[in-house]
A and B are shown apart, each in its own frame.
Chain A
Amino acid sequence: MSPKTLYDKIWDAHVAHEADDGTCLLYIDRHLVHEVTSPQAFEGLRLTGRSVRAPDKTIAVPDHNVPTTLDRAKGIENEESRIQVEALDKNAKDFGVHYYPVSDVRQGIVHIVGPEQGWTLPGMTVVCGDSHTATHGAFGALAHGIGTSEVEHVLATQTLIQSKSKNMKVEITGKLKPGVTAKDITLAVIGETGTAGGTGYVIEYCGEAIRDLSMEGRMTVCNMAIEGGARAGLIAPDETTYAYVKGRPHAPKGAQWEAALNWWKTLYTDEDAVFDKVVTLKAEDIEPVVTWGTSPEDVLPITGVVPDPASFKGGKVDAAKRALEYMGLTAGQKLTDIQIDTVFIGSCTNGRIEDLRAAAAILKGKKIKDGMRAMIVPGSGLVRAQAEEEGLADIFKEAGFEWRLAGCSMCLAMNPDQLAEGERCAATSNRNFEGRQGYKGRTHLVSPAMAAAAAITGHLTDVREMM
């Protein structure tokens, strides 16, 4: 047998039909659903009289629109948001899919809830009408975002029409330096490859620095594969993976666990398998990074200065000019001189327990800068509960952070958590696009520890100086 990559193996195990032209029907093991990209798909089923083919493999949770303030039990004020969440309540019930409503402690961001509940397992195919489905690749699952027409297609057929992507390897050799995290790895990779560098590929992340990461860290890395343009990001499962999965509510148990484990252990890239593209970074070369512009590829070490647009090539020159104007920055300005007024810690990139621990380690016994608006939005109700149990919530509250309920919140600002015009935010989320966190709001992407440091000093800060 010819050697295969991890991606090849998962792909081959899920092809339900292959047409003469190579177009495949890929069987989908888990379909995650949220309120923003699904209403039109369920409506499509109703209009055509179709049902959900595999409701037991379909999991729904509202996250994008839900308020994260402590009084949310009294309902959603914004009428359109309320209608979307109510539509999901109804669709989940009518079509009989697994559901975690707003009132459930397990509710949270779909990409945090899936792994937490053991729905996401190695070797699976996982899709969701959301680009950050790539997160689940951390388990060695082939996971990617789809559009609403495809959501409807998966609901109706439990398959997706796909042609195979190419294989790309991103290897991070060696060990990370102190103060450098999974978020810095994933941003550094995008800085290296550009936002279109992964287009047409599925990335497998490997190397010592990746192996050393916890599941939380691996999810952070894979989460942003999409910002690098890739269809999906993957990390081969290992002992860290099995330890995380074991005992979760929907993970296999007993003899099934053993059978599953036997298969999972075959999920690695064969030694002689060929990748179409290889990128290698040394972990020692990665610094804590921030974004200065309006694309996730606009990445620099925190020790750097705002670049001169003239230093770029082609269409990027104008894009950089536009970005500096939008961000209100001047070329040559030190990144650590950039003053911020808002800090957001949360999202499916960095809303897990480990992220909150990293922030708390910096914030312990400290206060945020006067006038700073700072919020922590745990990725799920269970992450929130655990952080309270570990005493992290007290550290945040004492430091002056708002301690919120779970949801997407200011990651995309569909709920009332938004930046006002001209406000500048250090955010642990994944997108710094124009308007992403609010009209004319300005976003600098950072790790949770860097966000915490900035909250204290009031400007972008090298977290290593606070450790």
Chain B
Amino acid sequence: MEKFEKLSGIAAPMPLVNIDTDMIIPKVFLKSIARTGFGKNLFDEMRYNRDGTEIEDFVLNKPAYREAQILVAGDNFGCGSSREHAPWALADFGIKAVVSTSFADIFYNNCFKNGILPIVLPQEAVDVLMQDAEKGANARMDIDLEAQTVTTSDGESFAFEVDAFKKHCLMNGLDDIDLTLEKAAAIDTFEAAAAQARPWV
């Protein structure tokens, strides 16, 4: 997995609340058995007309945001289906961080497995960042994972919380399975004890 330390990028504003994973990547694109190539269909129904032409008003189609690496989004981003295709599509498009007041649980976890940093901030902070994002390509937002801060183009800075373990894995690009297999002995011990205690499982 790619490491995430610092990011300076264009942020796209998506103030809509409850953006669900069906919007992020509609199910017609879930039929692939690969992990890559979903970026072109990110937000497909909001982004393209049925004939495949782009919908001009959609934020990521506007010249200022085509290279966006950050999304500033409304409440409860990523709700709905557990599909990891959602973060795959975001990552494939080039999004590396999403800021919102809240994220759906499974989506939040899925982000970390794919090098994307989801940042939870209070409403007032998200409002300021949303305004900053509205300035477009002239304004770059800075994210420092080590320091746990997001900084607007005007230099206003907000601190965010992140689980220490998830931060460690993201900063070092670590693979979860490798880390867990280092604890194989603990799993063996647990499994043996559980088989005694609950043999019907």
Contact of B22 among A23, A129, A148, A435 (CB under 8 A): A435
The answer to whether B80 and A433 touch across the interface, beta carbons within 8 angstroms, is yes
A-chain residues with CB within 8 Å of residue B33 when the two chains form the complex:
39-40, 43, 83-84, 87
Question: A434-B45, A435-B45 are contacts. A158–B187 as well, Cβ < 8 Å?
Answer: yes
Of B63-71, B131-139, B147-155, B174-182, which stretch is located at the interface?
B174-182
Q: Cβ of A25 and Cβ of B102 under 8 Å apart?
A: no
Q: How far is the CB of B182 from chain A (nearest CB, A)?
A: 10
A433 to B16, CA, bound (A): 13
- Give the complex CA separation of A147 and B20 in angstroms: 15
Q: Judge whether A149 and B17 touch: CB under 8 Å.
A: no
Which of A50, A57, A195, A412 has its CB near the most chain B CB atoms (within 10 A)?
Answer: A195
Please report which residues of chain B, range 146-199, place their CB below 8 angstroms from some CB of chain A when the two chains form the complex.
163-165, 176-177, 179-181, 183-184, 186-187, 189-191, 194, 198-199
The contact of A121 among B105, B114, B201, by CB within 8 Å, is B201
Q: Is B18 close to A, CB under 8 A? A: yes
* B106 contacts the other chain (CB 8 A): yes
In the complex, per-residue mask of B62-85: 1 if CB is within 8 Å of any chain A CB, else 0: 000000000000111001111110
Contact check, A156 vs B106: say whether CB atoms are below 8 A apart. no
State which residues 117-150 of A face B: CB under 8 Å.
121, 123-124, 129-131, 144-150
Using a CB-CB cutoff of 8 Å, which residues 20-74 of chain B contact chain A? 20, 22-23, 26-28, 30-35, 45, 50, 74
Closest CB in chain A relative to B169 CB, distance in Å: 9
**Which parts of A280-316 form the interface with B (CB within 8 Å)?**
295, 297, 314-316
For A259, the chain B residues whose CB sits under 8 A away are 199-200
Q: Which residues from A are CB-within-8-Å of B187?
A: 16-17, 25, 27, 157-159
In the bound complex, do residue B16 and residue A319 qualify as a contact, i.e. CB atoms below 8 Å apart? yes
**Residue count of chain B within 8 Å CB distance of chain A:** 58
Asked if A37 CB lies within 8 Å of chain B CBs, one says: yes
A153/B82 in contact, CB under 8 A: no
Chain A nearest Cβ from B198, distance in angstroms: 7
A436 CA / B83 CA spacing, docked (Å): 14
- Docked-complex contact A156 and B22, CB < 8 angstroms: no
Partner of B82, one of A87, A129, A159: A129
Size category of the A interface is 35 or more
Chain B CB within 10 Å, residue with most, of A50, A81, A149, A434:
A149
Find chain B residues with CB under 8 A from A263 CB. Answer: 198
Q: Once the chains bind, are B35 and A315 in contact (CB under 8 Å)? A: no
- Is A80 an interface position by the 8 A CB rule? yes
A433, B31: Cβ atoms under 8 Å?
Answer: no
Smallest CB separation, B155 vs chain A (Å): 26
Q: With an 8 A cutoff between CB atoms, is A256 at the interface?
A: yes
Q: A residues within 8 A CB of B181? A: 156-157
Min CB gap B13→A, angstroms:
12
Q: Is the CB of B177 within 8 A of A37?
A: no
Asked if A106 CB lies within 8 Å of chain B CBs, one says no
Residues of B within 8 A of A412 (CB): 27, 81
- Contact B84 A37, beta carbon cutoff 8 Å: yes
Residue of A nearest to B17 (CB): A315
| Distance between Cα atoms of A244 and B8 in the complex (Å) | 56
Most A Cβ at <10 Å: residue of B26, B31, B83 = B31
* A431 close to B22 (CB less than 8 A): yes
Which residues of chain A from 218 to 257 have a CB within 8 Å of any chain B CB?
229-231, 252, 256-257
Does B80 contact A131, Cβ atoms closer than 8 Å? yes
| Distance between B56 CB and nearest chain A CB, rounded to angstroms | 18
A229 pairs with B15, CB closer than 8 A: no
Task: Confirm or deny: A273 has a beta carbon within 8 angstroms of a beta carbon on chain B.
Answer: no
Q: Are A16 and B17 in contact (CB under 8 A)?
A: no
CB distance B102 to A80 under 8 Å?
no
Contacts of B26 in A (CB 8 A): 435, 439
Whether a CB of chain B sits under 8 angstroms from the CB of A199 is: yes
A87 contact set on B, CB distance < 8 A: 33
With A315-B17, A435-B22, A435-B45 as given contacts, are A199 and B82 in contact (CB-CB < 8 Å)? no
A161 within 8 A of B: yes
| B179 cross-chain contacts in A, Cβ below 8 A | 161
- Asked whether any CB of chain B lies closer than 8 Å to the CB of A279, the reply is no
Q: Does B7 contact A (CB under 8 A)?
A: no
**A39 CB → nearest B CB, Å:** 4
A196 touches B114 (CB 8 A): no
Q: Does A330 contact B (CB under 8 A)?
A: no
Given contacts A129-B82, A200-B105, A36 and B30 within 8 Å (CB-CB): yes
**Does A322 sit within 8 A of B, measured CB to CB?**
yes
Residue contact B177 to A318, C-beta cutoff 8 Å:
no
A163 to B169, CA, bound (A): 15
A84 to B29 alpha-carbon distance, docked (Å): 12
Contacts of A29 in B (CB 8 A): 201
* Chain A residue nearest to B126 in the complex (CB): A315
In the assembled complex, the Cα of A153 lies from the Cα of B176 at a distance in Å of: 7
A-contacting residues of B (Cβ < 8 Å)? 15-18, 20, 22-23, 26-28, 30-35, 45, 50, 74-76, 79-84, 87, 102-106, 109-110, 113-114, 123, 163-165, 176-177, 179-181, 183-184, 186-187, 189-191, 194, 198-201
* Smallest CB-CB A-B distances: 10 pairs: A252-B200, A80-B31, A149-B113, A16-B190, A39-B33, A147-B110, A147-B84, A315-B17, A145-B82, A148-B84
Listed A/B pairs (19) with beta-carbon separation below 8 Å: A23-B165, A27-B187, A65-B31, A80-B32, A130-B81, A130-B82, A131-B106, A147-B83, A149-B176, A153-B176, A157-B180, A157-B181, A157-B184, A159-B180, A161-B176, A196-B76, A196-B79, A433-B22, A435-B22
14 A-B pairs besides A16-B183, A158-B187 with CB distance below 8 A are A16-B187, A16-B189, A23-B165, A27-B191, A39-B33, A131-B82, A148-B35, A150-B113, A157-B180, A163-B163, A163-B165, A196-B76, A414-B30, A439-B26
